[in-house]
């Protein structure tokens, strides 16, 4: 467990203002506008190639900005080299200086700034204690384990007490157990340091646990930004809805019909009535094709027929120990739902699924935007 | 206790030399190229079209148009030199590649002391051509050289290895083959070692004979490496000068006048710079084609770094 | 290999050893001969192992003919060549491997550099001779060293690009974030990590310069004459002193052999760009 470090007072907010990055004809980041609040931990989340790492690197000064500007504090930093931006970065591969000892790795940023020898030594020892690598100071990076290297990388980042921390998937090279453990520590750590942190990852579980706010990107564009709960519960489009949550949200392509009794969804052998709560959310929508989205944990499963429910046949039962999921075949598609205790279906059984109306979403099949 | 470190770099843009660092890093090389490559080349072209005389303080130069080139095409020795060079390049390259390949194939088998043997094999490559030429020169000595001695043991008269007009060129080829075969061996050996195992396993499971495997698996896979090796040797072989100069100065007679030797003689014996430059210009054209082919191949997997 | 006969294996082993013996034979012969006195080397049959080893050949070369002076010339020229080529070439290699120049210049520059390597010096040596004469650089260690360094820059660039590629980029990026400017990154990160490759490259350039013949022949005369030229000069039209000749060959080879053993591991890569021989 890492000890609590001292508070610093120099954190600064970060702002991306219509930032774009193009490599030739390829657009890696398109018109990113994002404000990171002072002291918050913002996670840039998305699949590989979505532009999150490029955005981070532009913030760091390791990539040139094609258009737009980036501010740290109130300064525009577009033309500043990395060293003038008062930032620190933890790389995915840790990027430790292989030919230097752990001590020298930690001391590097301080030596560059020509700090006095005694002061350097004090700070290194202090940081080493915080990240708990005090006894490794004399070793070289290749002589220590992956987890220890990660902590050296972290130590090197915090030793300067910068205004902003940048982290590029710092946990992805750790094994699963260590990753979980370090995740928690990082969160508390960042809170205690109270420094603005931009954290890049493709792991949505990591993002949900760590973030004060999550910014989801895809194909270079920002999809949605907000606190994890909000983005989880109210996704702005199908991509966000499908990216967060494991197992992912189920999507069924259905027809929305307006009838006497109210709204209904039909298709795939399903006939679901929507209650009045939906009326308000949909407004005066006419009959149209929609995509219904609901999460595996937001479904009530019954072994007996339920009116208005989605009927399907069990395809596979997955028992993960603490949770059970069943894959149900509905009209050619597979729907995953969580299984409550008490039900023991076998392959081939018929089940009736009722998605929780309050938690379900409707999306436009074409634009993939959220409808209700 | 927070010690505030005043950082004077906080608001600084990168200085101009850092922003243009790439250009600055490449400039010294570019300067060298201009001084020792570009300028002499242009001058050489100028000489090729002129008559150049060496005087006490410098040179005199008068443009003569295509005269040097016309002479080059008319002089029989030039055509001879071209032919001799072609013979040399062809014979030497074929021998070196074939022998090197055989050696490489042999050493990829289960041979004991393989590493040690390989290390020893590399020695001829780095030896000064001078020493190589000198060593063989002595072995070729008619009276107490080892070759004639061995021939004598089986009752053959001594051969005038380096003095016989018909033999000397080939005797010297042997020297080059001796020195360069380890080179082709090294590259082909590395190439063979880098080949994937899967096709071989599949082929042997399918029951193909060793010869068939060689023909349909090894040769095609080794194609690119072979091409690089052949090209490299051809380019190097065309430049041959040292060994021939040392052993016979291009003789006996003019039987070993390669293009390079001819250029040297015209330039620094006859001191006809213009003519020599014209000859080297023509030689150059052939080499440019070969060199371009080679470099294209070698840079095949080079890609410029990202921004 | 499964299914191979014992005889087959022994045969292959024998051929391999025989090949190596054949390859080393001339070298052995030269060394052997260099220790033979006048009387012994003319003897027939030639003795396989020198019976009465003597240093008279070496003594004659070094003391009487001042071969140490030629060796010194070769040494100085090679050091000049290697120092200049490695410095200039490494800078260019770093630039070409870490930075992207516009209009695909990286590729074009590298292409030009490597292509020039393939040209024989005989082409540019004539104007060079004239220029050197005018500048007083003829028959000077510096003059020859400069030309050699130019010839070897492509080799340096080729090898150092490879070594710089092996250094992970994010280590340099970490240093940039930590506070270094680009040249400091080169000095503190790239060069230390590429040091073994740098040393090997230096050695290869040194060997190339040491072995070089044509340019040395043309651009030097008496003062700056290098070892290979001096060795070749032992073969005169008149009475060739074979003992001296062999000793000279050995002397020229020794330093190169030692250095090559040191740079052994990186040899193959360097050889792809045209080797170290003439």
Query: What are the tens digits of pLDDT across the range A159-171?
Result: 988 999 999 999 9
Cβ atoms of residues A335 and A310 within 8 Å: yes
B203 in any annotated domain:
yes
Out of C43, C111, C271, the one facing B299 most closely (by C-beta) is: C111
In C, residues 111-150, which contact A (CB 8 Å cutoff)? none
Q: Which residues does chain A have within 8 Å of residue C183's beta carbon, measured at their own beta carbons?
A: none
Regarding whether B217 and B150 lie in a shared domain, the answer is yes
Tokens 């910014």, located at residue: A215
Regarding whether B235 and B265 lie in a shared domain, the answer is no
In B, residues 41-60, which contact C (CB 8 Å cutoff)? 41, 43-44, 47, 58-59
Are C180 and A99 a contacting pair at CB < 8 A? no
pLDDT for the residue B144: 77
B251 in any annotated domain:
no
Q: Which residues does chain B have within 8 Å of residue C88's beta carbon, measured at their own beta carbons?
A: 28-29, 32
Which chain B residues have any C-beta within 8 angstroms of a chain A C-beta?
2-3, 5, 7, 9-14, 18, 306-307
Is A5's pLDDT higher than 70?
no
Regarding whether B288 and B184 lie in a shared domain, the answer is no
Counting other chains too, the contacts that A258-262 makes at CB distance below 8 Å and 24 or more residues apart are A258/A285, A258/A286, A258/A287
Over residues A319-361, the pLDDT tens digits come to 888 888 888 888 778 888 888 777 788 888 888 888 887 788 8
Which chain A residues have any C-beta within 8 angstroms of a chain B C-beta?
6, 8-9, 23, 63-64, 75, 79-81, 83-84, 86, 113, 115, 119, 160-161
| Residue B205 CB burial class (10 angstroms; 0-12, 13-18, ≥19) | exposed
Q: Locate the chain C residue with the closest alpha carbon to A62.
A: C173
B175 in any annotated domain:
yes
SS3 state of residue C195: helix
Give the residue range(s) of CATH 1.10.3720.10 domains in chain C.
65-271
B73 in any annotated domain:
no
Residues C20-56 as b/e (b if ≥16 CB within 10 A, e otherwise) read beebeebbebbbbbbbbbeebbeeeebeeebeeebee
* CATH, residue B229: 1.10.3720.10
Q: Which residues does chain A have within 8 Å of residue C184's beta carbon, measured at their own beta carbons?
A: 112
Out of B2, B12, B307, the one facing A23 most closely (by C-beta) is: B307
Out of C118, C133, C260, the one facing B291 most closely (by C-beta) is: C118
For chain A, count helices (H), then strands (E). 9, 20
Q: Does C38 touch chain A (CB under 8 A)?
A: no
Q: What is the mean pLDDT of residues C128-151?
A: 92
Q: What is the mean pLDDT of residues C79-93?
A: 96
Regarding whether B196 and B113 lie in a shared domain, the answer is yes
Are A89 and C177 a contacting pair at CB < 8 A? yes
Best C99, C167, C177 residue to mutate vs chain A (most A CBs within 10 Å): C177
Are B12 and A6 a contacting pair at CB < 8 A? no
Out of B2, B11, B306, the one facing A84 most closely (by C-beta) is: B11
DSSP structure string for A322-337 = S-EEEEEEETTEEEEE
How many independent structural domains does chain B possess? Answer: 2
**Cα gap C202→C86, rounded to integer Å:** 6
Out of A83, A87, A91, the one facing C170 most closely (by C-beta) is: A91
Is B62's pLDDT higher than 70?
yes
Q: Which residues does chain C have within 8 Å of residue A81's beta carbon, measured at their own beta carbons?
A: 176, 181
SS3 state of residue A44: strand
Integer CA distances (angstroms), C191 to A346, B25, C180, in order: 65, 14, 14
Which of A209-218, B266-275, C236-245 has the highest average model confidence (pLDDT)?
A209-218
Out of B33, B47, B239, the one facing C127 most closely (by C-beta) is: B47
How does the average pLDDT of chain A come out, rounded? 86
Integer CA distances (angstroms), B301 to A15, B193, C84, C89, C162, in order: 40, 19, 28, 21, 12
pLDDT for the residue C233: 86
Q: Which residues does chain B have within 8 Å of residue C15's beta carbon, measured at their own beta carbons?
A: 106
Out of A6, A64, A160, the one facing B2 most closely (by C-beta) is: A6
Q: Which residues does chain A have within 8 Å of residue B15's beta carbon, measured at their own beta carbons?
A: none
Q: Which two tokens stand for residue B28?
A: 């010294």
B173 in any annotated domain:
yes
Question: Which domain, by its residues, includes B103?
Answer: 95-239
- CA torsion B198-B203-B205-B208 (nearest 10°) is -160
In C, residues 149-168, which contact A (CB 8 Å cutoff)? 168
DSSP letter (8 states) at residue A8: -
Best C5, C15, C26, C237 residue to mutate vs chain B (most B CBs within 10 Å): C26
Is C271's pLDDT higher than 80?
no
Over residues A140-151, the pLDDT tens digits come to 999 999 889 999
Q: Does C171 touch chain A (CB under 8 A)?
A: yes
Q: What is the mean pLDDT of residues A106-132?
A: 91
Regarding whether B225 and B137 lie in a shared domain, the answer is yes
Q: Which residues does chain B have within 8 Å of residue A86's beta carbon, measured at their own beta carbons?
A: 7, 10
Is C104's pLDDT higher than 50?
yes
Query: Can you say whether the dihedral through the CA atoms of C165, C167, C170, C176 is positive or negative?
Result: negative
Regarding whether B228 and B127 lie in a shared domain, the answer is yes
B71 in any annotated domain:
no
Give the up-direction half-sphere exposure of residue C246: CA atoms within 13 A in the CB hemisphere.
Answer: 26
Cβ atoms of residues C61 and C251 within 8 Å: yes
CA distance B9 to chain A (A): 6
Q: Locate the chain A residue with the closest alpha carbon to B306.
A: A23
| CATH code of the region C65-271 | 1.10.3720.10
Q: Locate the chain A residue with the closest alpha carbon to C182.
A: A81
Regarding whether B269 and B191 lie in a shared domain, the answer is no
For residue A13, what pLDDT band results from cuts at 50, 70 and 90?
Answer: very high
How does the average pLDDT of chain B come out, rounded? 84
B217 in any annotated domain:
yes
More confident of the two residues C69 and C8: C69
Is C7's pLDDT higher than 50?
yes
What pairing do the DSSP bridges indicate for beta strands A262-267 and A250-259? antiparallel
Regarding whether B293 and B206 lie in a shared domain, the answer is no
Over residues A286-331, the pLDDT tens digits come to 677 888 888 998 888 888 887 777 888 888 888 888 888 888 888 7
Q: How many CB pairs under 8 A join B and C?
A: 309
In B, residues 74-103, which contact C (CB 8 Å cutoff)? 103
DSSP structure string for C146-176 = HHHHHHHHHHHHHHHHHHHHTS-HHHHHHHH
For residue A232, what pLDDT band results from cuts at 50, 70 and 90?
Answer: very high
Is A1's pLDDT higher than 50?
no
Are A81 and B306 a contacting pair at CB < 8 A? no
What pairing do the DSSP bridges indicate for beta strands A350-355 and A333-338? unpaired
pLDDT for the residue B5: 47
Are A62 and C184 a contacting pair at CB < 8 A? no
pLDDT for the residue C166: 87
**Cα gap A253→A266, rounded to integer Å:** 9
Q: What is the mean pLDDT of residues A172-201?
A: 89
**Cα gap A170→A89, rounded to integer Å:** 10
Regarding whether B115 and B235 lie in a shared domain, the answer is yes
Q: Which residues does chain A have within 8 Å of residue C177's beta carbon, measured at their own beta carbons?
A: 60-62, 82-83, 87-89
Q: Which residues does chain A have within 8 Å of residue C168's beta carbon, measured at their own beta carbons?
A: 93, 95
Is B109's pLDDT higher than 70?
yes
DSSP structure string for C46-109 = PPSS-SS---HHHHIIIIIS-HHHHHHHHHHHHHHHHHHHHHHHHHHHHHHHH---GGGHHHHH
Q: Which residues does chain B have within 8 Å of residue C264's beta carbon, measured at their own beta carbons?
A: 119, 122
Regarding whether B129 and B197 lie in a shared domain, the answer is yes
Are A83 and C176 a contacting pair at CB < 8 A? yes
Is B243's pLDDT higher than 70?
yes
Task: Please tell me the pTM assigned to this model.
Answer: 0.85
B28 in any annotated domain:
no
Q: Which of B257, B264, B236 is nearest to B85 (CA)?
A: B257
Is B3's pLDDT higher than 60?
no
Q: Locate the chain A residue with the closest alpha carbon to C189.
A: A97
Are A96 and C171 a contacting pair at CB < 8 A? yes
pLDDT for the residue C2: 55
Q: Which residues does chain B have within 8 Å of residue A161's beta carbon, measured at their own beta carbons?
A: 2
Over residues C9-30, the pLDDT tens digits come to 788 888 888 888 888 888 888 8
CA distance A109 to chain C (A): 5
CA distance C261 to chain B (A): 9
Which of A320-324, C82-86, C116-120, C252-256 has the highest average model confidence (pLDDT)?
C82-86
Are C179 and A93 a contacting pair at CB < 8 A? no
Residue A41 φ then ψ, to 5°: -105, 105
Q: Which domains are assigned to chain A? A: 14-239 (3.40.50.300), 250-363 (2.40.50.140)
């Amino acid at each position: 467990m890492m000890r609590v470090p001292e508070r610093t007072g120099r954190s600064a907010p970060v702002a991306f203002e219509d930032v774009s990055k193009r490599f030739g004809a390829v657009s890696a980041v398109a018109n990113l506008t994002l404000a990171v609040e002072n002291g918050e931990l913002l996670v840039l989340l998305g699949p590989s190639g979505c532009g999150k790492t490029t955005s981070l690197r532009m913030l760091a000064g390791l990539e040139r900005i094609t258009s737009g500007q980036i501010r740290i504090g109130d300064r525009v930093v577009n033309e500043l080299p990395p060293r003038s931006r008062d930032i620190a970065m933890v790389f995915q591969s840790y990027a430790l200086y292989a030919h230097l000892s752990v001590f020298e790795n930690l001391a590097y940023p301080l030596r560059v700034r020509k700090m006095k020898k005694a002061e350097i030594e004090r700070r290194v020892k202090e940081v080493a204690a915080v990240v708990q690598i005090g006894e490794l100071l004399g070793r070289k990076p290749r002589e220590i384990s992956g987890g220890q290297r990660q902590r050296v990388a972290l130590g090197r980042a915090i030793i300067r007490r910068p205004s902003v921390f940048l982290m590029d998937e710092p946990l992805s090279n750790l094994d699963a157990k260590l990753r979980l453990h370090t995740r928690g520590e990082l969160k508390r750590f960042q809170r205690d340091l109270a420094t603005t942190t931009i954290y890049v990852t493709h792991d949505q579980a990591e993002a949900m646990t760590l973030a004060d706010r999550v910014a989801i990107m895809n194909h270079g564009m920002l999809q949605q930004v907000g606190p994890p709960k909000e983005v989880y519960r109210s996704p702005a489009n199908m991509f966000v809805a499908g990216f967060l949550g494991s197992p992912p949200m189920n999507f069924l392509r259905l027809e929305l019909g307006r009838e006497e009794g109210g709204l209904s969804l039909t298709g795939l052998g399903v006939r679901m009535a929507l209650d009045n709560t939906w009326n308000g959310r949909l407004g005066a929508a006419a009959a149209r094709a929609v995509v219904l989205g609901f999460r595996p944990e937001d479904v009530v499963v019954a072994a007996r027929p339920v009116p208005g429910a989605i009927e399907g046949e069990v395809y596979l039962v997955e028992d993960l120990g603490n949770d059970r999921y069943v894959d149900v075949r509905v009209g050619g598609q597979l729907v995953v739902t969580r299984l409550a205790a008490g039900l023991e279906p076998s392959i081939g059984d018929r089940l009736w699924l009722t998605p929780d109306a309050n938690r379900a979403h409707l999306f436009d099949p074409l634009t993939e935007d959220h409808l209700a | 206790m927070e010690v505030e470190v005043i950082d004077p770099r906080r608001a600084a843009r990168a200085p101009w030399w850092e922003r243009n660092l790439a250009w600055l890093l490449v400039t010294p090389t570019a300067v060298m190229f201009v001084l020792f490559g570009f300028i002499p080349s242009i001058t050489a072209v100028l000489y090729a079209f002129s008559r150049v005389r060496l005087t006490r303080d410098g040179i005199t130069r008068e443009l003569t148009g295509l005269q040097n080139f016309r002479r080059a095409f008319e002089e029989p020795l030039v055509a001879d030199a071209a032919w001799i060079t072609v013979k040399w390049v062809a014979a030497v390259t074929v021998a070196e590649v074939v022998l090197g390949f055989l050696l490489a194939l042999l050493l990829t088998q289960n041979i004991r002391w393989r590493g040690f043997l390989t290390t020893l094999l590399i020695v001829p490559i780095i030896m000064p051509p001078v020493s190589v030429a000198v060593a063989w020169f002595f072995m070729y000595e008619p009276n107490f050289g080892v070759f004639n001695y061995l021939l004598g043991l089986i009752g053959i008269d001594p051969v005038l290895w380096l003095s016989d007009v018909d033999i000397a060129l080939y005797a010297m080829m042997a020297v080059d083959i001796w020195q360069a075969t380890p080179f082709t061996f090294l590259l082909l050996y590395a190439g063979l070692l880098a080949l994937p195992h899967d096709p071989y396993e599949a082929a042997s499971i399918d029951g193909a004979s060793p010869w068939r495997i060689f023909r349909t698996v090894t040769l095609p896979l080794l194609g690119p490496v072979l091409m690089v090796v052949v090209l490299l040797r051809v380019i190097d072989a065309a430049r041959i000068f040292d060994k021939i100069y040392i052993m016979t100065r291009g003789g006996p007679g003019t039987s070993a006048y390669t293009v390079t030797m001819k250029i040297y003689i015209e330039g620094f014996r006859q001191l006809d710079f213009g003519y020599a430059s014209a000859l080297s210009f023509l030689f150059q054209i052939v080499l440019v084609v070969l060199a371009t082919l080679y470099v294209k191949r070698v840079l095949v997997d080079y890609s410029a770094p990202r921004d | 290999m499964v299914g191979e006969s014992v005889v087959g294996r022994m045969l292959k082993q024998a051929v391999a050893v025989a090949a190596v013996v054949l390859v080393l034979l001339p070298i052995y012969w030269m060394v052997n001969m260099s220790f033979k006195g006048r009387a012994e080397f003319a003897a027939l049959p030639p003795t396989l192992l020198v019976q009465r080893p003597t240093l008279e050949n070496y003594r004659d070369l070094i003391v009487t003919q001042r071969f140490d002076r030629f060796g010194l010339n070769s040494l100085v020229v090679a050091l000049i060549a290697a120092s200049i080529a490695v410095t200039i070439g490494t800078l260019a290699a770093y630039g070409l491997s870490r930075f992207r120049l516009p209009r695909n210049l990286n590729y074009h520059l590298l292409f030009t550099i490597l292509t020039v390597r393939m040209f024989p010096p005989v082409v540019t040596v004539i104007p060079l001779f004239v220029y050197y004469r005018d500048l007083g650089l003829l028959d000077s260690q510096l003059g020859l060293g400069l030309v050699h360094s130019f010839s070897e820059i492509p080799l340096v660039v080729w090898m150092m690009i490879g070594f710089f590629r092996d250094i992970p980029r994010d280590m340099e990026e970490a240093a940039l974030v930590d506070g270094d400017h680009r040249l400091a990154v080169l000095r503190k990160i790239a060069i230390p990590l590429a040091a073994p490759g740098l040393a090997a490259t230096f050695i290869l350039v040194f060997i190339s310069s040491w072995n070089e013949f044509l340019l040395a022949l043309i651009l030097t005369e008496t003062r700056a004459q290098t070892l290979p030229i001096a060795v070749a000069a032992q073969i005169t039209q008149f009475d060739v002193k074979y003992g001296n000749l062999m000793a000279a060959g050995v002397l020229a080879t020794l330093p190169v052999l030692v250095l090559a053993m040191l740079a052994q591991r990186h040899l193959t890569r360097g050889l792809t760009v045209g080797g170290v021989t003439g």
